[in-house]
Amino acid sequence: MKKTGMCMLLVVMLLATAVVPAYAALPEDNTVMPLWTNTNSISYAMLFEDGIGYAESNVVARYSPKTFNISTYVYVKSGSEWVYVTEKHESKTGMSIGTSCSFDAVYGADYKVDYVFTVSGNGVDEVIEMTDYDTYD
């Protein structure tokens, strides 16, 4: 009986230490967000209204105030080339920053906006580059 009890205990211990694979589930829309050190979230959009385009963005810090630098570069497509339209640079220290870069827009034209977000804090300069495309229609 003592041997049976000891064997059962060993079996239970082996089963308890067995490795079970675990998989993280993707959100329903299958998006994956990167894990940044200083940045909690980034959002951006291009909007058009009455012949004016707006390249807007917002950055939120993670945990504590950070120094933000946002550079926004706007281009219009001409043939097969992207032609520079305008740019805007903003800096701020705090928990978030929002910016809007306006430009004259031509109906039917394709636009591209390159965003360069630099979020600095805790000895880390985090540079995040994103691009948005839209057509004024």
User: For the chain, which residues make up each domain, given as ranges?
Assistant: 35-135
What pTM was computed for the model? 0.75
Residues 8-35 have pLDDT tens digits of 766 666 565 555 554 555 566 655 566 7
DSSP calls for the chain: -HHHHHHHHHHHHHHHT------PPPPTT-------SSEEEEEEEEEEETTEEEEEEEEEESSS-EEEEEEEEEEEEETTEEEEEEEEEEEEEESEEEEEEEEE--TT-EEEEEEEEEEEETTEEEEEEEEEEEE--
Residues 53-95 have pLDDT tens digits of 999 999 999 888 999 999 999 999 999 999 999 999 999 999 9
| Homologous superfamily, domain 35-135 | Immunoglobulins (2.60.40.10)
pLDDT of residue 26: 55
For residues 12 and 60, give the distance between their C-alpha atoms in angstroms, rounded to a whole number.
Answer: 48
